[in-house]
Amino acid sequence: MRSAPEQPHSVPEVDQLPADVPTALGPTAPTSPADRAETRGERLRRGAHQGRLQGYAIAIIALIAALVALAAANTARVRVDWLVGSARVSLVWLVLAAAIIGWILGVLASLRFQWVTRARPRRAQTGTGSSKRPRL
């Protein structure tokens, strides 16, 4: 039985090459931050970040479950009186509409408060005794 002839020139593996020899796979020394070892502080920071993300996901799922339970429990129709006339609507839609309107009004009030209390740029004064009063 004959054995396969040995290759006279075998190609060394990439790990066996000196560090200064360029290869198609790039340099073998770690050059990017992803290749270096993770420190203890980085590992703890990453774990805390993942824990916060999981906590947010759990909170969102619990909120959605509570909203579904609230909607299922309040399917009764109620009478809503307007200035002119009245209507019968599902209690779920009434509560949802009130929540959305309240949220929008809260955002608008917050934006208005930020606009009124923002720092205004100072104007360069022209002249010595300006009798103009600042606008309110």
CA distance 68 to 132: 60
CA distance 50 to 63: 20
Tell whether 88 is covered by a domain: yes
Instruction: Kindly state whether residues 62 and 87 are assigned to the same domain.
Output: no
Tell whether 17 is covered by a domain: no
Would you say residue 121 has pLDDT above 90?
A: no
Instruction: Kindly state whether residues 63 and 86 are assigned to the same domain.
Output: no
pLDDT in tens, 64-119: 999 889 888 888 999 999 899 999 998 988 988 999 999 999 999 999 998 888 87
Instruction: Kindly state whether residues 112 and 82 are assigned to the same domain.
Output: yes
Output the pLDDT for position 87. Answer: 92
Output the pLDDT for position 59. Answer: 95
Q: Which residue has the higher pLDDT, 58 or 29?
A: 58
Q: Which residue has the higher pLDDT, 18 or 87?
A: 87
Tell whether 132 is covered by a domain: no
Range of the domain at 49: 41-73
Local confidence band at 47 (pLDDT 50, 70, 90 cut-offs): very high
Instruction: Kindly state whether residues 69 and 79 are assigned to the same domain.
Output: no
Number of domains in the chain: 2
Instruction: Kindly state whether residues 82 and 104 are assigned to the same domain.
Output: yes
Tell whether 45 is covered by a domain: yes
Instruction: Kindly state whether residues 58 and 89 are assigned to the same domain.
Output: no
Residues in the chain: 136
Tell whether 27 is covered by a domain: no
Tell whether 12 is covered by a domain: no
Instruction: Kindly state whether residues 68 and 85 are assigned to the same domain.
Output: no
CA distance 63 to 69: 10
Output the pLDDT for position 38. Answer: 84
Tell whether 125 is covered by a domain: no
pTM: 0.45
Instruction: Kindly state whether residues 65 and 86 are assigned to the same domain.
Output: no
